[in-house]
Amino acid sequence: MPDETPFSETADIETSSDDYASRFSGTAGKWFLQVQERIVLSMLSDLPSGGTPNVGRSVLDVGGGHGQLAHPLCKAGYRVTVVGSDESCRKQISGLVNSGLCEFRIGNMVKLPFEDRSFDVVVCFRLLPHCAQWQGLIGELCRVARQSVVVDYPAVWSCNAIEPLFAGAKKKIEKNTRKWTAFRHAEIRNEFARHGFSPDRRKAQFFLPMVLHRMMNTRAPSAGLEAIFRAIGLTALLGSPVIVDMRRKPL
């Protein structure tokens, strides 16, 4: 990790590292990413087209050097630009960049180097809970988005409340876990509303804490349990992390 950067918010340097990528290399980690990918692509698929197909639309992935969304978005045909805090944030997506499927830019997360409404869609994952200036980050996401902003965040009212009980196991399994901020849904909704955006869809990914799934590290039992919780409504009520699709309100 670089010793110095010119920016105040650089949490994406950690999430773009090999060390962080290792957290999603096991069975549970790969399943997490598949669930995330499926939700995001579903949300983007119903954007009002205005005569333009979704495929080929421009997407800005803020802090997306981890490649968790850049890879599936490029595969789905979106024109993706990833902005990172440092050149090191390019590593996980270097194949996409070198092949011309994705553009990489270095920039300030809370002062993005783009004009207003430069991209059809803006996505920002694994960054909001680690950003001290999260209100400024949301403001910038909204500023550069024409239609939609999709973000993820951990929810206060969820099984995250019992996660301290598993702190020892979490540290042992993840090794590189960091402190993060959980949000009330109203906090996120109200901040986006200040910039003219309202929620189109909100979907929680898991009912059980992710560390429990990592402890099991077997897809079938985890997926089976989560299917039950989703079917009886517990995931919608108390699930986390949450993915929300915010749409720009018409004038």
Confidence of residue 187 (pLDDT cuts 50, 70, 90): very high
Question: Lowest mean pLDDT: which of 30-39, 59-68, 172-181, 201-210?
Answer: 172-181
**pLDDT above 80: residue 10:** yes
**pLDDT above 90: residue 239:** yes
Residue 3 lies in a domain: no
- Write down the mean pLDDT value for the chain: 90
Residue 5 lies in a domain: no
Residue 2 lies in a domain: no
Residue 19 lies in a domain: yes
Residue 64 lies in a domain: yes
**β-pairing verdict for 197-204 and 58-62:** unpaired
Mean pLDDT for 204-226 is: 93
Residue 72 lies in a domain: yes
Starting at the edge strand found earlier in the chain, the sheet holding 145-153 runs 102-106, 79-84, 58-62, 119-124, 145-153, 242-248, 197-204
Mean pLDDT for 140-164 is: 88
Domain of residue 23 covers 11-248
Question: What CATH number should be reported for the domain holding residue 37?
Answer: 3.40.50.150
- 241 neighbors 40 (Cβ within 8 angstroms): no
Token digits of residue 30: 């790969």
Question: Lowest mean pLDDT: which of 1-5, 87-91, 219-223, 244-248?
Answer: 1-5
pLDDT at position 177: 62
Q: Using CA atoms, how far apart are residues 131 and 14, in angstroms rounded to an integer?
A: 12
Residue 162 lies in a domain: yes
pLDDT at position 2: 46
Q: Using CA atoms, how far apart are residues 139 and 159, in angstroms rounded to an integer?
A: 29
Which span out of 37-51, 166-180, 204-218 was modeled with the highest average pLDDT? 204-218
- Number of domains observed in the structure of the chain: 1
Residue 130 lies in a domain: yes
Question: Lowest mean pLDDT: which of 43-52, 64-73, 133-142?
Answer: 43-52
